[in-house]
Structures are given as structure tokens and as C-alpha cells.
Amino acid sequence: MMKKFMIVAVVALTAFVASAQESREGERVATDVCSNCHGKDGNSISPLFPRLAAQREEYLVAQLNAFRDRSRSDPHARAFMWGMAQSLSESTIKALAAYYAKQKPTPLPAVNSPLAAQGKHIYENGVDAQSVPACTTCHGNKGEGTEIAPRLAGQHTTYLVKQMEAFRSMLRENDVMHENIKNIDNDQISAVGAYLGSK
């Protein structure tokens, strides 16, 4: 009995230490390297770089892997993240994703413009006439993200607009987004970006 207990205790302790080390590694890399662009705690200042605080862990892992194996190849990915991700290990990717998923997003000022209201309508209902589905289906009712799609709430409007344009022009790879966004126009992209950027 004692022997079994000791084995369980050692395994549990090892797992705890490994988890703590991974957590520290995630924080170290995030603080020393990623924070230069993505800001302290993942709340970036510049809209050239996405806010990562509270982003879905599985999405971050997928994106870091896509940067590392260069399967995500939009211009910004090539210029910045191909280099930054090229030497990340599996464990560091997991640690970084876990670190950012736990960070608290700083609130952005609320925007009650007609543009944001239009964006809210598109986000929640889609545009039937253009075969644009509601974004809520994948990204959640409040843009909080789901297991299959990233958090969008509180993201920089400029960044969101740039990404939607990249999906529409197929600069950024994603079959689902290519299909969903192919008929949306520039004004509608701006509206959705304004709405999500103010959440």
C-alpha cells in the first residue's frame, strides 16, 4: 500500500513540477520576447500586432505551429512570426498558449457608433443576401471564441479588418473563412471590426 502511495506521490509531484516549469517557461518567453510586440500580458498597444490575452489556448497552439511550419503565409506572418516561431519547441508552444489564455484582457473603450451597431447586426445575424453566415456560430455569442475558432472580442479593429481582408483575398489560408467571407464588402468588414474592437 505504502509503495503504491509513494509511486502515485512521485508521479503527481513530477507532473506538478513539470507543469510549474512549463508555466514558468511560458511566462519567461512571453515576457522576454513576445511582449516586445504583443505587450505586457498580451495586451498589445500597436494594432499591427494582435492582442493575445485570453485568446483560446488551442487556437494559439495551432497558429504557432502554423507559423513554425510556415503553413500560415500572409505577409505579416512571413515578416514577423516565421522567424519568431522557427525555433519554438512543442513544450514552449504549449506553455505560451497556456500563459496567454490565462491573461486578463484590458478593457477597451466602448463604442456606440452606427458603424459598430451595423457590425453587431452582421456579427449576430450574418448577411443572407450575400451568403455570409452569422459569426456567432463559430466565434461565440460575445466573440469569446470556441474550440474551433479564435476569440475576437477586444481585438484591435485594424488588425481584424486586415485579417478579414486577408481571408477574403486568400492571402491567409482557411477554407471555412474563405467560403464565409468571400462576398462581404469593405464597409461590412469595417463594421464588424468596429463592433468587435469595442467589446
Partner 1 sequence: MSQQNKFWKSTYIVTLALAVLTIAARPAYAVASYARQTGLACEGCHTVFPELTPFGRLFKMNAYTLQNVKPLEDINEKKQSTLSIGELPPISAMFVGSSSWTAHGQPDSVNNGKAQNGTVGMPQQLSLFYAGRITDNVGAFLQLTYDPSANSIGMDNTDIRYANRGMINDRELIYGVTVNNNPTVQDVWNTAPAWTFPFLSPMAVPTPTAQGSLLTSLLAQQTAGVGPYVYIDKSIYAEVSAYRSAQIGVATTPLDSTTADVIDTAAPYWRLAWNHEWGKNSIMIGHWGIYSALQPGNGMPIVGSATNKYTDLNFDAQYQYIGEDHLVTLTTNFLHERQRLDGSFQAGTSNNLNHLNRESLVAAYYYLRKIGGSIGLFNLSGNSDPLKYPSVGGSGNIQGSANGSPNSNWATLELDYLPWLNTKLFIQYTAYNKFNGSTGKYNLPMTTRSASDNNTIYAGFWFAF
Q: Per rule CB under 8 A, is residue 84 in the interface with partner 1?
A: yes
Asked if 44 and 50 touch (Cβ cutoff 8 Å), the reply is: yes
| 75 dihedral zone (left: phi>0; alpha: psi -120 to 50; beta) | alpha
Beta carbon of residue 134, minimum distance to partner 1 (angstroms, whole number): 28
Q: Per rule CB under 8 A, is residue 70 in the interface with partner 1?
A: no
Beta carbon of residue 13, minimum distance to partner 1 (angstroms, whole number): 20
Nearer residue to partner 1 within complex by CB, 132 or 161:
161
Binding mask 117-156 for partner 1 (x = CB under 8 A): ----------------------------------------
By three-state DSSP, how is residue 168 classified? Answer: helix
Q: Per rule CB under 8 A, is residue 107 in the interface with partner 1?
A: no
Contacts of residue 52, defined as CB under 8 A and 6 or more positions apart, other chains included, come to 34, 38, 42, 44, 60, 100, 103
Query: Cα-flanking dihedrals φ and ψ of residue 193, to 5°?
Result: -60, -45
Nearer residue to partner 1 within complex by CB, 92 or 118:
92
- Cα angle, residue 194 at apex, residues 33 and 125 outer, rounded to 5°: 115
Residue listed under C-alpha cell 504549449:
94
Q: Per rule CB under 8 A, is residue 31 in the interface with partner 1?
A: yes
Q: Which stretch binds partner 1 (CB under 8 A): 37-45, 112-120, 146-154, 186-194?
A: 37-45
Q: Per rule CB under 8 A, is residue 24 in the interface with partner 1?
A: no
Q: Per rule CB under 8 A, is residue 35 in the interface with partner 1?
A: yes
Nearer residue to partner 1 within complex by CB, 70 or 142:
70
For residues 193 and 15, give the distance between their C-alpha atoms in angstroms, rounded to a whole number.
Answer: 42
Q: Per rule CB under 8 A, is residue 92 in the interface with partner 1?
A: no
